[in-house]
Structure 1
C-alpha cells in the first residue's frame, strides 16, 4: 500500500442531512486529488430534500434503504462491496471537508503508515456549536487532544481503509453503536496500525439535547459491553463512579469555558455531562446483560 492511488471510492451515509450535504458534496469534489472520486451513497429514508441534492451530484450509486434497515456495520460493509476501488473513504453526509487537501492528507497518512488498517480525520466544530460539544471535539481531535492518551479512540465520520483490510476484517453487523470502536480494536489486535490524520480536517458537530446525549452515551456503552471483560459495578460503586466522573468532566469544562469566554454555558455543560455519565453507566449494564447474559 505505498503507491498514491489514481482512484478512490467514497461511501457516504445520509439521513435527512439536507442542511449540510450540499456543502459536503461541494468540498468533496473540490479536492486537489487528481484521480477519480467514485461516490457511493446509502440513504436511510431522507424526506428533507437530501435525496434531490445527492442525485444532482451524480453519484455512481444512490442506494435507498428503509430507516428500520439501518445498521451501521451492515451499511458500511455494503458500501465497500458496492465500491469499485480498493481505497475506501467513509464520509458522513454532514461532515464537510475543510480546504482542498482533506483527501490528499488522509491518503498520505494511509500510504505512509506501515501495517495500515484505518485512519481518521480531525473534526472541528461548526460556528453554532454549543460549548460542551465544542470542548468535546477538542478533547477528541484538538492539537492537545486527550484522546491520544486514552486506551483507544477512533471515529468513522471521516476515515479511510483498504479493501484488503475489510475483506479480512469486516464490520460486525449486530451493533447499533460503537461499531467503529469494536472494529478498530479488532484491527489492532491483529497487528494493524490506526493513525490519526491531523491535517485532514472536516467540520462536523451536533448540539444534542439532554435526552439525545443520554441515548448516544447509552448506545455506545451498550455496544462496547459486547466485548468487554469487566462486569458492571454494584449500586454504590456505580453512583460513586458517575459522581466522580461528572465532577471531573465539569472541572475540565469550566477551565475550557473560562479560557474561551463562554462561562454562561456552564450550567448547560454540567447537565449534558451528567446525562452522558448516566447514559454510559446504564448502557454498559444493559449491554453486559444483552450480550453476555450475565448480571
Structure 2
C-alpha cells in the first residue's frame, strides 16, 4: 500500500464547521495530507461556496446512507490510507496524521485505526483494550478514524444497515484475521444536536443495535425508558430551579454587601 493520506469529510449543511475543519487541515497538516475530499449531501447552506473557496474536491451524495457514503469515500480516494471525518469534528494533536501513517507502516495487517476523542477512548487506549475483545468500543468509528483501502476492496461497507456500519465492518474484518488498533491521535467531536436530531439519532441507533448486536427490545423496555427519562427530566428541572434561586439569592446578597476592590 502507498503511505499517502486522503482525508474525506462527510457534510450536510455544516458550512461554518466545514470551513473551520478545512482551514485547520490546510494550516496545520498540509505536509501530511495528499488529498482532501468533501462528500456533500445536497447542502442548502453555503457549504458549496466554502468548498470552492477552500479549493478541495467535492463529491455529491444524492441518496445518503452511512455505509453507502463510506463506500463512496473509499471509491473517491486516490490513496490507500483514508481518514474519514464529519464536518463537526477536527484533529487536534500536532502529529495526528503522522501517527496514523506510522501505525500502518508498522503493521501491514492493519485494517483500521481508532483515534481518540472522549473519556472511554482514552481509558480503553491506556488499559490496552483490544478490538478483538471489544469491537464496539475499540473498533473504528467513521468520524476521526482511518482505514486501509486495500482491505476495503475485499470487504466493502454494508449500505443496507441503518447505522453502525463502522462497527459491523470492524467485526467482519477482525473475523477475517485483520487488526484494528487504537492510535493516540486526538481529535475533537464538536456538535450540539437539537431534540429533533437527537430523536433521529436515537431511531437509527435502536434499529442498528437490533440489526448488529441483536439487542432485544420489549414493551417493558419502552416503559422503563419513559419512566427513567421522566424521572431524570424532573430531577434536572428541580435541580436547575433550585440553583437558579440560589444564584438569585447570592447575587442580591452580593449587591448589598460587596467586598473591597483590589
Cα 1:79–1:45 change in 2 (3 A) is same
Q: Given the alignment of the two structures, is residue 98 of structure 1 paired with residue 95 of structure 2, yes or no? A: no
CA contact (8 A) 2:67 2:163 kept: no
Q: Given the alignment of the two structures, is residue 267 of structure 1 paired with residue 236 of structure 2, yes or no? A: yes
Deviation string for 1:86-139 (max 9, x for gaps)? 11111222212114321112222333346211112212xxxxxxxxxxxxx423
Query: Within 2, Cα distance between the matches of 1:242 and 1:115?
Result: 42
Residue 179 of structure 1, CA deviation: 1.0
Question: How many aligned positions are there?
Answer: 228
Picking from 114, 119, 122, the partner of 1:138 is 119
CA contact (8 A) 2:210 2:216 kept: no
SS at match of 1:201: strand
Q: Partner residue of 2:66? A: 72
Q: Partner residue of 2:59? A: 63
Unaligned stretches of 5+ residues in structure 2 = 240-262
Q: Supply the RMSD in Å over aligned alpha carbons.
A: 3.2
Picking from 156, 181, 185, the partner of 2:171 is 185
Give the TM-score, by structure 2 length: 0.74
Q: Given the alignment of the two structures, is residue 12 of structure 1 paired with residue 9 of structure 2, yes or no? A: yes
Query: Within 2, Cα distance between the matches of 1:106 and 1:55?
Result: 28
Query: Within 1, Cα distance between the matches of 2:88 and 2:135?
Result: 28
Picking from 30, 34, 37, the partner of 2:34 is 37
Residue 42 of structure 1, CA deviation: 1.3
Cα 1:206–1:93 change in 2 (3 A) is closer
Q: Partner residue of 1:171? A: 157
SS at match of 1:34: coil
Unaligned stretches of 5+ residues in structure 1 = 124-136, 251-265, 271-295
Q: Partner residue of 1:119? A: 113
CA contact (8 A) 1:27 1:100 kept: no
Cα 1:95–1:227 change in 2 (3 A) is closer
Q: Partner residue of 2:24? A: 27
Residue 206 of structure 1, CA deviation: 2.3
Cα 1:103–1:31 change in 2 (3 A) is farther
Which structure has the larger Rg over C-alpha atoms? 2
Q: Partner residue of 1:53? A: 50
CA contact (8 A) 1:122 1:201 kept: yes
SS at match of 2:69: helix
